[in-house]
Amino acid sequence: MTSASHTPEQTLITTIHLLERYGVIDFNGHASIRLSDGRILINSADSLRCALTPADLVTVNADGSVDEDQLRPPNELALHLAVYRARPDVKAVVHGHPEWSTLLTSASEPYKVVFPQGAVPGNVPVFDSPRSISNTETATAVAELLGNGKAALMKAHGCVTVAEDLLEAAVLAIYLEMNAERQVRCAPLGGAYEFSDAEIEGSRKGLSKRALYEKCWGFFKAKYNLQ
């Protein structure tokens, strides 16, 4: 669980370590926090995601500029900036390259709810291109596709999840990947059972709770022995 004593830097480091160990983030991928002054805290482009330290973080101005003494931000910084511009309610963004949801979109299969927690991210649209989200035009298109939602996938590329804080954004990315894994693994068996609209709504209402997000977060934080 998070603590009031945790700084944004500590929260970001713990989140990226957790998502790297789970498999949402690999040698690429990034997460960010919108700070109270409008700037963005994000991991640097060249940072080792599995061994992140405070020295690997970058503070980016709201316009995307970086002070000269800062490290280089990730190439897909534009994605974070576009989401924050479009969504004043969003305070955290995760972008990763998880295996199972990427397999799903590589096969041109739509995301279907086949697992209770898989309903929590809500509608999950797919951006129909694997290209890098490294320019304003593409980033704006992804942000528009995301709309007011919590998650989107990029075809043969990865995922993006957004929330009011990084804990929830991270848990949404985990739920998304858990659901995608079950969907892909069931395909050779004839396909996974797809939840009805009523089952989706019931799962979403019952599981979209802060205490349950913290339960998932705490489980993986303990599993990976993270501080």
pLDDT band at 68 (very low <50, low <70, confident <90, very high): confident
- Predicted local distance difference test score (pLDDT) of residue 6: 83
Per-residue CA distances from 117 to 32, 182, 214 (Å): 23, 11, 14
pLDDT band at 12 (very low <50, low <70, confident <90, very high): very high
**pLDDT of 2 above 70:** no
pLDDT digits (tens, 9 = 90+) for 74-121: 999 999 999 999 999 999 999 999 999 999 999 999 999 999 999 999
- Predicted local distance difference test score (pLDDT) of residue 227: 79
Per-residue CA distances from 121 to 7, 57, 63, 208 (Å): 26, 27, 28, 9
Q: Sheet containing 126-127: give its strands across.
A: 57-60, 40-43, 30-34, 92-96, 158-163, 151-154, 126-127
- Predicted local distance difference test score (pLDDT) of residue 50: 95
d(Cα 158, Cα 165) in Å, to the nearest integer? Answer: 20
Q: What is the mean pLDDT of residues 164-172?
A: 98
DSSP codes joined into one string, 83-130: HHHH-TT--EEEEE--HHHHHHHHTTPPP---SGGGGTT----EES--
- Predicted local distance difference test score (pLDDT) of residue 1: 41
DSSP helix/strand/coil, 215: helix
pLDDT digits (tens, 9 = 90+) for 196-227: 999 999 999 999 999 999 999 999 999 999 97
pTM of the model: 0.95
Return the CATH architecture of domain 8-222: 3-Layer(aba) Sandwich (3.40)
Domain boundary assignment for the chain: 8-222
Measuring CA to CA, which residue among 11, 13, 9 is closest to residue 21? 13
Provide the 8-state DSSP code for 1.
Answer: -
Mean pLDDT of the chain: 95
For residue 7 the two structure tokens come to 């700084």
Measuring CA to CA, which residue among 147, 99, 152, 111 is closest to residue 129? 152
**pLDDT of 64 above 70:** yes
- Predicted local distance difference test score (pLDDT) of residue 196: 98
pLDDT band at 5 (very low <50, low <70, confident <90, very high): low
Q: What residue type is 186 in one-letter code?
A: C
Share of the chain above pLDDT 70, in %: 98
Looking at the chain, list the stretches that DSSP marks H as alpha helix, in order from N- to C-terminal side.
8-22, 77-86, 99-106, 136-146, 166-186, 197-207, 210-223
Share of the chain above pLDDT 90, in %: 96
**pLDDT of 19 above 70:** yes
CB of 98 closer than 8 Å to CB of 80: no
